[in-house]
Amino acid sequence: MSDVLRIERQGPIEIWTITRPKALNALNAAVIDALTEAAIAADADADLRAIVLTGEGKAFVAGADIAAMQSLTPAEAGAFAAKGQAMGERFERLGVPVIAAVNGFALGGGCELAMSCDIVIAGARAKFGQPEVNLGVIPGFGGTQRLARRVGATKALDLCLTGRFVGAEEAVSMGLAARRVEGDVVEEALAIARTIAAKGPVAVSYAKRAIHENADADLSTGLAAERNLFALCFATSDQSEGMTAFLEKRAAEFTGA
């Protein structure tokens, strides 16, 4: 049991809450290690269908831990960035979707962590930003790359060069967040997780994979990958069950096989 990450289970769904509220859930090595370990365990959990990631208190994650980073040497900074980037890639490669329930500040490494998740839900108090230039550094956990891919270079440059924060509405309008919610952002994320958990698990994981693995591919390469994964769906009993259930006008009972 980690003292910086609380993991709760609701049926096939896990809720991961980062619990460093006094430091606004800043990412230090302990948090990154705990998230990485949780992701490794999740990958081995055949019954898990979705993860909701959030932060305790008024922040999702207010960035990499500035106190921990202050005296890093260039070599140590490189190692820290590698650790954070590996965590982000691990999230993207997870077979189950991760939904970021952004309850408050998602800044720097926190914005980068949210962008490593599959669906970003912004609560009314969400604030996104890449303010690293205020500290004399640049994003180090993939921010310059994932942000530009999500929102385009024009808006990524605006955020990364000025360090300004954007609220939920602007985050949705620029494509950084998928939805904005007025109510409880974790409840909304859980509702989305339950919706996904009722789908064919293999199909969900293939859809996620097709999008992430081919984000930088040219269209014909991406279409070839999609074609292969689509064909592989027909090797599952879930494909047969899903289509049979539709034709029999009943709810499908997916097993993930």
112 is catalytic: yes
The secondary structure element, H or E, covering residue 129 is: strand 127-129
What is the C-alpha separation between 82 and 64, in angstroms, rounded?
13
Does 62 participate in binding ligand DAK (rule CB under 6 A)? yes
Q: Smallest distance, Å, CB 141 to ligand DAK?
A: 5
Note whether 80 and 112 are within 8 A (CB): no
What is the C-alpha separation between 117 and 100, in angstroms, rounded?
6
Q: Give the residue with the Cβ less far from ligand DAK, 16 or 165.
A: 165
170 is catalytic: no
Please list every residue from 175 through 204 that binds ligand DAK, using CB under 6 A. Answer: none
Q: Smallest distance, Å, CB 190 to ligand DAK?
A: 25
Rg (CA), the chain: 19
Instruction: Report the residue from 60, 80, 91, 128 that binds ligand DAK according to the rule CB under 6 A.
Output: 80
Does 84 participate in binding ligand DAK (rule CB under 6 A)? yes
Does 108 participate in binding ligand DAK (rule CB under 6 A)? yes
Build a one-symbol-per-residue string for 139-158: x at contacts with ligand DAK by CB under 6 A, - elsewhere.
xxx-----------------
- Which one of the listed residues 132, 170, 182, 241 is annotated catalytic? 132
- Single out the residue of 130, 215, 214, 123 nearest to residue 177, CA to CA: 123
Instruction: Report the residue from 15, 18, 81, 176 that binds ligand DAK according to the rule CB under 6 A.
Output: 81
Does 168 participate in binding ligand DAK (rule CB under 6 A)? no
Neighbours of 97 (CB within 10 A): 22
Instruction: Report the residue from 65, 92, 118, 238 that binds ligand DAK according to the rule CB under 6 A.
Output: 65
Instruction: Report the residue from 14, 56, 132, 188 that binds ligand DAK according to the rule CB under 6 A.
Output: 132
87: Cβ contacts below 8 Å, ≥ 6 apart: 32, 35, 36, 39, 113, 116, 141
- Which one of the listed residues 76, 112, 170, 213 is annotated catalytic? 112
What is the C-alpha separation between 47 and 256, in angstroms, rounded?
9
Does 118 participate in binding ligand DAK (rule CB under 6 A)? no
202: Cβ contacts below 8 Å, ≥ 6 apart: 233, 236, 238, 256, 257
b/e sequence 170-207, b meaning 16+ C-beta within 10 Å? bbbebebbbebbeeebbebbbebbeebbebbbbbbbbb
Does 137 participate in binding ligand DAK (rule CB under 6 A)? yes
Q: Give the residue with the Cβ less far from ligand DAK, 20 or 180.
A: 20
Residues that bind ligand DAK (CB under 6 A): 23-24, 26, 62-67, 77, 80-81, 84, 105, 107-109, 131-132, 134-135, 137, 139-141
Residues annotated as catalytic are 112, 132
